[in-house]
Amino acid sequence: MPSVREASFDLFRAHGMTTMFGNPGSTELPMLADYPSDFRYVLGLQEAVVVGMADGFAQASGTTSIANLHTAPGVGNAMGAIFNAQANHSPVLVTAGQQARAQITLQANLTNRDAIRMPHPLVKWSYEPARAEDVPLALAHGAHLAGLPPKGPVFVSLPMDDWYAEVDDADAAHAIARKVGGRAVADPGAVKALAERLEAASNPVLVAGPDIDASGGWDAAVALAERQRLPVWASPATGGVRLGFPEDHPNFRGVLPPAIGPVGQTLEGHDLILVAGSSVFPYYPHIPGPLLPEGAELVAITSDPDEAARAPMGDALVADVKLTLEALLEAVPESSRPGPEPNPGPQEIPATDPLNASTVHTALGEVLPEDAIVVLESPSSTLALRNQLRLSRPGSYYFSAGGGLGFGLAASVGVQLAQPDRPVVCVIGEGSVQYAVSAFWSAVAYQTPVTFLVLRNSEYAILKWFAEVEQVAGAPGLDLPELDVAAVAAGYGVDSAKAEDRDQVADALGKALSSSRPALVEVPVEQGMSLF
């Protein structure tokens, strides 16, 4: 009879989950004993980094990833990253060791006293198997659920002595062999009705959200926009964990603002707003106003029932985004509407000293290879990067829809591990670096040649902007003097350089991009927000 450990690793193998992210403790060592040679263990030095890497890996590989944490304190350290993974619809099987069963009730040292409750409400499912021999089935349950729509993190607590128990051969074989699919096709009647609404509309618009990319629906979205001559807005950047539409396409208009009033104003004049693969909407900050422009209707296509149910206005269709867009494409004719206004394209940025973040993004754009992937966590220049780079290939942009800092640096390492043949650039503020700073070590240890572009403005620029919006004066703690990220990264073994003018930036980034090692370029930038 196989041991729980043998059956569990066979299960991971069957799911293609042979890369495991973790930070081990004494309670996880029995799981890792005789670690199989066809598995890769990626060590993160702090649990937020472990889950952040697993999040990036899951999204960029299209598989469920494993993040193995150290009982209660490890889960505690990872909570912000689990929150992000949930917002990102990222399928991560989070596991944590637990005291030996004989010592849970007496609460021996390191017992996770309420392991199931601890990660709630950030996971879809949380469980501690009732018996050791149930571990493979519980892991199978978690792996299936994580990958079913809406994808997201799940949690399984694993008592440390379970790994040696034996499981029934036939039971294990069933658990390992099961395949569970979850791509739901929309009701044909609902698609027909939506196609009729689209055709009847005089000035419809498409709002493209991140789950278009996650579902592989990029081509269908482009074909639908072209056939129906739809102008296309990207859903607000706050929730834009991925791009749903090529941003250099002639029909593309820009990124929607993230607040209620401004969204309504931006969409004024449209009578039908078709939202695909986004919540309606990832609003922030609170700027009130009408939810929809006068006379407009809204229909959202989402694979997430909760997104559909919680929207404050409009109708929703719950089904796979790609399959629904394809069905809708089949059901609509070529439209004779006038085409949308042309894509406004990037704005010219005046020269400044120090450089404006927008100028740095233009320099990046010059040297960025076509197949590059950008992982972004530069709060005050998010829009500037989108506006200047106009990324236009699927799977080429990752951002944290949760808004919890610490995603960027860690996720970029996970993305690079999942996509070893594509250049990965992590564009990040010097403040954001600090929430997952030890990801630099993992980048070096696993030879992931990420290019880190650090924008150093010596402040929490976006919080100063928020202070103005919220009419808050005199808040402390918004300045970051003397934070030398290049020196810190060098301490972790990253090749680090500093660049000050535009040519130096392009030159240093070009070198970093052609290096086979992780490399960092730190650039001092002008303070304040960069929007264009």
Ligand X SMILES: Cc1ncc(C[n+]2csc(CCOP(=O)(O)OP(=O)(O)O)c2C)c(N)n1
| 430 binds ligand X per the rule CB under 6 A | yes
Q: Which is nearer to ligand X, 65 or 457 (CB)?
A: 457
Minimum CB–partner distance for residue 431 and ligand X (Å): 3
- Whether the Cβ atoms of residue 146 and residue 91 lie closer than 8 Å to each other: yes
**Residue 314 is a binding residue for ligand X (CB under 6 A):** no
How many residues touch ligand X under the rule CB under 6 A: the total is 19
Give burial (CB, 10 Å; 0-12/13-18/19+) of 334.
exposed
Separation of alpha carbons 367 and 35, rounded Å = 41
The alpha carbon of residue 247 and the mean position of all alpha carbons in its chain are separated, in whole angstroms, by: 18
| Contact window for ligand X (CB under 6 A) among 27-35, 306-314, 411-419, 425-433 | 425-433
**Window 65 to 94, contacts with ligand X (CB under 6 A):** 80
In sequence order, the β-bridge partners of residue 126 are: 155
Q: Which residue is nearest to ligand X (CB)?
A: 429
Give 262 or 528: the residue with its C-beta nearer to ligand X: 528
CA dihedral 376, 381, 384, 389 (to 10 degrees): -30
Contacts of 27 (CB under 8 A, 6+ apart): 70, 71, 96, 97, 98, 99, 110, 160
* Cβ atoms of 263 and 256 closer than 8 Å: yes
- DSSP per residue, 91-151: -EEEEEEE--GGGTTTT-TT--TTTTTTTTTSSS-EE--SSGGGHHHHHHHHHHHHHSSSP
39 or 466: whose CB is closer to ligand X?
466
Q: In this structure, which amino acid lies at residue 314?
A: G
Among 399, 407, 435, 452, binds ligand X (CB under 6 A): 435
Residue 145 CB, shortest distance to ligand X, in Å, is 26
Q: Does 411 bind ligand X (CB under 6 A)?
A: no
Stretch that binds ligand X, among 16-24, 104-112, 123-131, 427-435 (CB under 6 A): 427-435
| Residue 31 CB burial class (10 angstroms; 0-12, 13-18, ≥19) | buried
Which range touches ligand X (CB under 6 A), out of 213-221, 317-325, 404-412, 503-511?
404-412
User: What is the chain's length?
Assistant: 532
Candidate residues 63, 157, 378, 448; the one interacting with ligand X per rule CB under 6 A: 378
In whole angstroms, how close is the CB of 58 to ligand X at the nearest point?
20
Which of residues 404, 414, 423, 449 is near ligand X by CB under 6 A?
Answer: 404
Q: Which stretch binds ligand X (CB under 6 A): 108-116, 125-133, 377-385, 415-423?
A: 377-385
C-alpha dihedral, 133 to 138 to 140 to 146, nearest 10°? -170
Q: Does 52 bind ligand X (CB under 6 A)?
A: no
**Long-range CB contacts (within 8 A, 24+) of 98-102:** 98/27, 98/71, 98/128, 98/157, 98/158, 98/159, 98/160, 99/27, 99/71, 99/159, 99/160, 100/159, 100/160, 100/161, 101/132, 101/159, 101/161, 101/162, 102/161
> Which residues are registered as beta bridge partners of 399?
376
Q: Which is nearer to ligand X, 430 or 522 (CB)?
A: 430
Site membership for ligand X, residue 405 (CB under 6 A): yes
Binding flag, residue 436, ligand X (CB under 6 A): no
By CB under 6 A, name the one of 97, 258, 264, 431 that touches ligand X.
431
Q: What are phi and psi of 428, to 5 degrees?
A: -150, 145
What distance in Å separates the CA atoms of residue 110 and residue 28, rounded to the nearest whole number? 12
Which of 184, 463, 467, 490 lies at the binding interface for ligand X (CB under 6 A)?
A: 463
Measured from the CB atom, the residue of 56 and 264 that comes closer to ligand X is 56
**Residues ≥6 apart with Cβ < 8 Å to 440:** 409, 452, 488, 489, 492, 493, 494, 518, 520
442 or 530: CB nearest ligand X: 530
Beta bridge partners of 451: 425, 519
State how far the Cα of 216 lies from the Cα of 211, in Å rounded to an integer: 8
Q: Check if the beta carbon of residue 267 is closer than 8 Å to that of residue 292.
A: yes
Least distance in Å: CB of 446 to ligand X? 24
Nearer to ligand X, 445 or 463 (CB): 463
Sole binder of ligand X in the list 412, 432, 451, 496 (CB under 6 A): 432
Any contact of residue 461 with ligand X (CB under 6 A)? yes
| Segment lying near ligand X (by CB under 6 A), choices 5-13, 254-262, 441-449, 461-469 | 461-469
Any contact of residue 457 with ligand X (CB under 6 A)?
yes
CB closer to ligand X out of 125 and 435: 435
Nearer to ligand X, 244 or 402 (CB): 402
Nearer to ligand X, 195 or 355 (CB): 355
Nearest to 94 by CA among 55, 149, 38: 55
Considering only residues 384 to 403 of the shown chain, the ones binding ligand X according to CB under 6 A are 403
Q: Which of 23, 86, 126, 380 binds ligand X (CB under 6 A)?
A: 380
Asked if 460 interacts with ligand X (CB under 6 A), we say yes
Among 395, 429, 449, 518, binds ligand X (CB under 6 A): 429
Q: Is there binding between residue 379 and ligand X (CB under 6 A)? A: yes
Residues in the site for ligand X, rule: CB under 6 A? Answer: 80, 378-380, 403-406, 429-432, 435, 457, 459-463
